[in-house]
Structure 1
Amino acid sequence: MAAYADFIVAIDLGTSRLTGMAGRKNASGALTVVACETEDVAIGIRRGCVFNIEETATKIKSLVRRLELKAGGTGIAKVYVGIGGQSVCSIDHSVAKDLGEEQEVTEETLDMLHEECRAYQPELSDVLDIVPPSYRVDGKLVTNPVGVPCKRIEACFKLIVGRPSLRKHIINSISDRAQIKIAGIIISPLALADVVLTDNEKELGCILVDFGAGVTSLSVYKGGTLQYLCVIPLGGRLITKDLTALNIIEAEAERVKITYGNAVADREDETTVQVNAAESTSPCDIRLSEINNIVEARAKEILENVFARLESTEVAKSLGAGVVITGGASNLRNIAELMQKRLKKEVRYAFLRKGLLDNDSIHYNTPENIVALSLLLLPDAENCAVRPAPPVAPSQLTASPADPAKEPDTAQAPPASATQASPVSKDPQETQASQPKASPQEEKPQDKPKGKNGRIKKTFMNIMGNLFADETA
């Protein structure tokens, strides 16, 4: 398997599983998927949010290692992470500037408005992203206000916010604990809309619904821009948990939901299916109508929450392009028909727009993988592969012996006792004891005595020297 020198890596933090993908764009701009791996999560993620930091870090490291192997052994330096868990929503924030006398709007004027918006911090929330604003010039909606004369300009922003722990726990788990650099934290519903909705759908008005295991995200577009975004803490896993009321374990309930689940129950269906009950009991038969009564009830509850959030928007009745659905839970039979009946709008399944994915990777275009694919298709995404070290010239590998500057310094520093200066005040007896005693004949005064006092001192020293010489003889 050939190693890849450059690719983009994205991780989708799903409630039921983590999805990691590596991909690269070809000359035409279409995405080629280099590697795709998944990791089941039991307690690490709850409703799209990192709950157990250590568990998530362990899963992420395992996921990245397997992606590296599939990428030909090339190391992964950083990853993009999609975020779309509970508490993520959009809020409106407007910034206005009075220009005084009528004057043209400039790029500097818009920069000032954007800077003021970035400085805004809502209470008890963290600003995760800022959607490009719409502008009002003297109260009139204008797409591009640069060059338009006016007295007052207002920028109407959509801020994507979430509770502060949402981003903090991602950083603590991936960057700090797993020691994997984060290239960017991306709002998954926004990235998804950019690759599955057309410009016409955004202009006419469209609802994008992502049915996940733990949460359902809702994005509403109109006039080409985002009008509303929220994450509902209800998902397909609730249907699974409801089915455990039939005295089956959760893993079996998930299998039953996928195999037999139907969002529109047929209450007169007397067909029975065999399910595996607890390990200590034998398999039992359960009617399909009993199963699907549970499935339908929870599916309707989720859709009622979507409908209630949609009704709270000002554009709910003017969405001409209908509804687009995706996500793992959208695979439930007849969920599109149930939604169409409730919302009274056309419903279609989401797929990447034509030309975004090359033919060799088209099999990855599924509801389970579509969020990860949307993260790989970010514009101006950075290379996530470890850059190889530059080649070393042969002349730099070995140093010339003739060049002392390139030779290794093999000289060892003397011991500290030899390099330290002696104390100024040192006991003369210690000095004398450490040196061999010289005979009187070998002793030579270093300074020649001068004058009368000097001669007396010399005579005294000679007498004393002879005296000690006699004692030792």
Structure 2
Amino acid sequence: MAITNFIAAIELGSSKIRGIAGTKKIDGSIQIHAYAEIPSSDSIKKGKVYNRDGTSLALKNIIKKLEKELGETIEKIYVGISGQSLRSEYNSISRSITSEDTKIDQELIDSLCDENLELKINDLDILSVEPQEYKIGNNLEINPVGVASEHIEGRYLNIVANSNVKESIEYCFKQAHIKIEDLLVTPLTTADIILSEKEKRAGCALIDFGADTTTISIYRDNILRFLTLIPLGGENITKDIISLQIDEDEAETIKLSIGSAWYDKKENDKEEEKAIHTLEDGRKVKIEDIQLAIEARSEEIVLNVWNQIKYSGYNDKLLAGLILTGGASKMNNLHRLIQEKTTIGQIRFAESPLISFHNSDKINGIDKTKYGILGLLNAGKENCCLIPITDKPGVLFDDKEVLITKEEERKKKEAQEEIERKKSKDEKIGENNKNPDKKGDNFFTKFTQKVAKDLFGNENYESEK
């Protein structure tokens, strides 16, 4: 059966382009109706469109697969935007209040936000704005409406990216004849289905270890405070294993099976140091060589993450610690490496999203690699199904003529039933008039007979005619 009410989203990942469609339920859960994915390593690099034609073709195929499962046409779609140049930029806007009434109102707050959006940054687009606080005198207010002051300073965290990132995405979707309903910042929508309100309030950092990039999103007091991407990810580790003359597919398997982000020689005896791994083609490779290659690159990524956290100024304010997600976070002993190289003690893996997703078999199960696309689906609001527009205004049903015919038949049936009821009633009245003395005589006959009996004692009295 065709599904006519759904939200559709697409994620442009460095390893795969993913598409999904689902419906939000009243309880906040989401029913997944369709899912499709296509490898994108030849079209997307570091989260940025590299091959426009290849990306456009992949988008067409994704939409075609989704529409086949839905049984309907997709009119528009929500698109996630990320990429190496994505980051946060701080900005502040000051305003003196010269009116007689110095009380701050919503109109003033809106004008400050509009002025911030008009900020021109060389070769950068503002994709999203996260208001921080408003400085009123020596106080910081989250919502200053109603506060009396002669001066206000609005502080904003602008999420920006190189202009060509957005332009390339819009070009590819235009070439694929797909309407973009909205461009959403993928790290923000991902955080919404992973981080609890308690974690955001206490202070935490969401680390998304992706294929080509690693994203760092820092929250404190329920507000996004810092966002940046590092151009290193799981693929870099895989390439280091490949450099040991190992096939790419086998290198990926080795990374996630016997590979370890933390390799301590002191904990390994001489026999383990001499251990050999036999490849699929029969060649042998020392496990120690594999482990050292993995650890070196993993350490580089973790140290870069830690440097960015310290740069944000929130390294000592993350009471809820680090939350790890992304495909590369599946690495063995990654948490041990982070504990060794940082001062963060509290670490958890995002094992499941906060929101319930039904029909997870549609996406071959929910895992860390799919949190990005699920977050985009959750962030969508508008129905993305193409609803046909009829030529005649006010016609809500395609089968109007059928409905009119059924209505006429109903009226005819009611009229026929009414005729039959009247006919039956007339027949009963006529029968009673012909046989007044029979059992079942009409009321008038019975009444006159009863009166005659009472007055004259004559049961056979007949009324005058």
Instruction: Calculate the TM-score normalised by the size of structure 1.
Output: 0.78
Q: CA deviation at 1:359?
A: 5.1
Answer yes or no: is 1:393 the counterpart of 2:400: yes
Task: Return the alpha-carbon distance in structure 2 between the equivalents of residues 216 and 302 of structure 1.
Answer: 8
Q: Deviations over 1:369-426 (max 9, x none)?
A: 1111111111x611112224551533999xxxxxxxxxxxxxxxxxxxxxxxxxxxxx
**Counterpart residue type for residue 296 of structure 1:** E
Contact 1:7 1:24 in 2 (8 A): yes
Task: Return the alpha-carbon distance in structure 2 between the equivalents of residues 395 and 263 of structure 1.
Answer: 68
Alignment of 1:208-357 (within 5 A): 208-265=206-263, 267=265, 268=268, 269=272, 270-276=274-280, 282-345=281-344, 346-354=346-354, 356-357=355-356
Q: CA deviation at 1:361?
A: 3.1
Q: Deviations over 1:261-284 (max 9, x none)?
A: 2112254423322224xxxxx431
Task: Return the alpha-carbon distance in structure 1 between the equivalents of residues 42 and 109 of structure 2.
Answer: 45
Q: Which residue of 2 aligns with 1:158?
A: 157
**Percent identity, aligned pairs only?**
32
Task: Return the alpha-carbon distance in structure 2 between the equivalents of residues 227 and 205 of structure 1.
Answer: 10
Answer yes or no: is 1:13 the counterpart of 2:12: yes
Q: Deviations over 1:23-80 (max 9, x none)?
A: 1111212111112221111310000001100001111111111112222x21111211
What secondary structure, in the 3-state scheme, does the structure 2 residue paired with 1:316 have?
coil
What secondary structure, in the 3-state scheme, does the structure 2 residue paired with 1:302 have?
helix
Q: Which residue of 2 aligns with 1:426?
A: none
**Counterpart residue type for residue 284 of structure 1:** R
What secondary structure, in the 3-state scheme, does the structure 1 residue paired with 2:150 have?
strand
**Counterpart residue type for residue 198 of structure 1:** S
Q: Deviations over 1:176-230 (max 9, x none)?
A: 2111111111111111112211111111110000000000000111122111100
Q: Which residue of 1 aligns with 2:377?
A: 376
Q: Deviations over 1:141-172 (max 9, x none)?
A: 01211110011111100000111110000011
Answer yes or no: is 1:75 the counterpart of 2:73: yes
Contact 2:352 2:367 in 1 (8 A): no
Q: Which residue of 2 aligns with 1:46?
A: 45
Alignment of 1:52-91 (within 5 A): 52-71=51-70, 73-91=71-89
Contact 2:132 2:142 in 1 (8 A): no
Contact 1:20 1:67 in 2 (8 A): yes
Contact 1:266 1:289 in 2 (8 A): no
Answer yes or no: is 1:367 the counterpart of 2:368: yes
What secondary structure, in the 3-state scheme, does the structure 2 residue paired with 1:234 have?
coil
Task: Give the structure with the larger helix fraction.
Answer: 2
Q: Which residue of 1 aligns with 2:167?
A: 168
Task: Return the alpha-carbon distance in structure 1 between the equivalents of residues 305 and 109 of structure 2.
Answer: 35
Task: Return the alpha-carbon distance in structure 2 between the equivalents of residues 18 and 395 of structure 1.
Answer: 44
Q: Deviations over 1:238-276 (max 9, x none)?
A: 011111111123233222223322112254423322224
Q: CA deviation at 1:344?
A: 2.9
Distance change in 2, residues 1:6/1:303 (3 Å): same
Q: CA deviation at 1:331?
A: 0.8
Contact 1:204 1:319 in 2 (8 A): yes
Contact 1:10 1:80 in 2 (8 A): yes
Q: Which residue of 2 aligns with 1:457?
A: none
Task: Return the alpha-carbon distance in structure 1 between the equivalents of residues 94 and 41 of structure 2.
Answer: 47
Task: Return the alpha-carbon distance in structure 2 between the equivalents of residues 147 and 364 of structure 1.
Answer: 49
**Counterpart residue type for residue 330 of structure 1:** S
**Counterpart residue type for residue 370 of structure 2:** N
Task: Return the alpha-carbon distance in structure 2 between the equivalents of residues 271 and 33 of structure 1.
Answer: 46
What secondary structure, in the 3-state scheme, does the structure 2 residue paired with 1:299 have?
helix
Q: Which residue of 2 aligns with 1:149?
A: 148
Task: Return the alpha-carbon distance in structure 1 between the equivalents of residues 402 and 63 of structure 2.
Answer: 37
What secondary structure, in the 3-state scheme, does the structure 2 residue paired with 1:306 have?
helix
What secondary structure, in the 3-state scheme, does the structure 1 residue paired with 2:241 have?
helix
* Deviation larger for 211-220 or 17-26: 17-26
* Deviation larger for 359-368 or 61-70: 359-368
Task: Return the alpha-carbon distance in structure 1 between the equivalents of residues 154 and 321 of structure 2.
Answer: 28
Q: Which residue of 1 aligns with 2:180?
A: 182
* Deviation larger for 97-106 or 214-223: 97-106
Distance change in 2, residues 1:393/1:102 (3 Å): closer
Task: Return the alpha-carbon distance in structure 1 between the equivalents of residues 357 and 282 of structure 2.
Answer: 45
Task: Return the alpha-carbon distance in structure 2 between the equivalents of residues 195 and 34 of structure 1.
Answer: 19
What secondary structure, in the 3-state scheme, does the structure 1 residue paired with 2:97 have?
strand
Instruction: Calculate the TM-score normalised by the size of structure 2.
Output: 0.79
Distance change in 2, residues 1:358/1:123 (3 Å): closer
Residue correspondences, number: 387
**Counterpart residue type for residue 215 of structure 1:** T
Task: Return the alpha-carbon distance in structure 1 between the equivalents of residues 401 and 325 of structure 2.
Answer: 56
Q: Which residue of 1 aligns with 2:431?
A: none
What secondary structure, in the 3-state scheme, does the structure 1 residue paired with 2:14 have?
coil
Q: Which residue of 2 aligns with 1:429?
A: none
Contact 2:29 2:358 in 1 (8 A): no
What secondary structure, in the 3-state scheme, does the structure 2 residue paired with 1:273 have?
strand
Q: Which residue of 1 aligns with 2:414?
A: none
Distance change in 2, residues 1:317/1:388 (3 Å): same
Task: Return the alpha-carbon distance in structure 2 between the equivalents of residues 360 and 76 of structure 1.
Answer: 20
What secondary structure, in the 3-state scheme, does the structure 2 residue paired with 1:12 have?
strand
Contact 1:94 1:155 in 2 (8 A): yes
Q: Which residue of 1 aligns with 2:31?
A: 32
Task: Return the alpha-carbon distance in structure 2 between the equivalents of residues 85 and 228 of structure 1.
Answer: 16
Task: Return the alpha-carbon distance in structure 2 between the equivalents of residues 185 and 53 of structure 1.
Answer: 18
Alignment RMSD: 2.0
Task: Return the alpha-carbon distance in structure 2 between the equivalents of residues 340 and 4 of structure 1.
Answer: 48
* Deviation larger for 285-294 or 105-114: 285-294
Contact 1:7 1:384 in 2 (8 A): yes
**Counterpart residue type for residue 393 of structure 1:** K
